[in-house]
């Protein structure tokens, strides 16, 4: 279900809709995790291991649930989502280096906002 090409395309499309600041932060974290996974033969941190560790932090449920089967299902789905994001970043043959572009855009927005506040 969640590993299908259709799900992956929908997930990446949703990421593109995120606010710039959130997308920049997510991109930074996923790039870091992708780099860590490239050394998995040394550090044992495969994409699956990284997904299991970071999914609960990156994707918290909106409402705390007491129903354990629902919680476990949500954890598995969030791990799959983080796995797809990391795997997609690892598979990029030409890194987009979106971080600097997004960072510059955020800085420009901040500077414009401050300029308006001082006028």
Give the model's confidence band at 5: pLDDT under 50 very low, under 70 low, under 90 confident, else very high.
confident
Asked if residues 91 and 38 have their Cβ atoms less than 8 Å apart, the reply is no
- What would the pLDDT profile of 85-114 be if each residue is shown by its tens digit? 999 888 764 444 545 555 566 566 666 766
- Is 0.75 topped by the overall pTM? no
Quote the pLDDT of residue 74.
Answer: 84
Question: Are the CB atoms for 70 and 99 separated by under 8 Å?
Answer: no
Whole-number Cα distances in Å, 17 to 8, 22, 74, 88, 99: 15, 10, 22, 17, 16
Alpha carbons 66 and 30: distance in angstroms, whole number: 29
Decide which of 93 and 73 is more confident.
Answer: 73
Regarding predicted confidence, which is higher, 44 or 74? 44
The confidence score (pLDDT) of residue 114 equals: 65
What would the pLDDT profile of 12-43 be if each residue is shown by its tens digit? 888 889 898 888 889 899 999 999 999 999 99
What is the CATH superfamily name and number for domain 5-118? Rho GTPase activation protein (1.10.555.10)
């Amino acid at each position: 279900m969640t590993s299908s090409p259709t799900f992956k395309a929908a997930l990446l499309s949703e990421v593109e809709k995120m606010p710039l600041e959130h997308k920049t932060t997510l991109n930074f974290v996923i790039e870091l995790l992708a780099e860590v996974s490239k050394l998995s033969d040394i550090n044992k941190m495969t994409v699956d291991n990284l997904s299991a560790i970071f999914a609960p932090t990156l994707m918290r449920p909106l409402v705390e649930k007491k129903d354990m089967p629902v919680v476990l299902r949500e954890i598995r789905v969030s791990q799959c989502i983080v796995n797809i994001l990391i795997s997609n970043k690892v598979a990029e043959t030409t890194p987009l280096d979106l971080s600097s572009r997004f960072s510059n855009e955020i800085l420009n927005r901040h500077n414009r906002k401050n300029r308006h506040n001082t006028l």
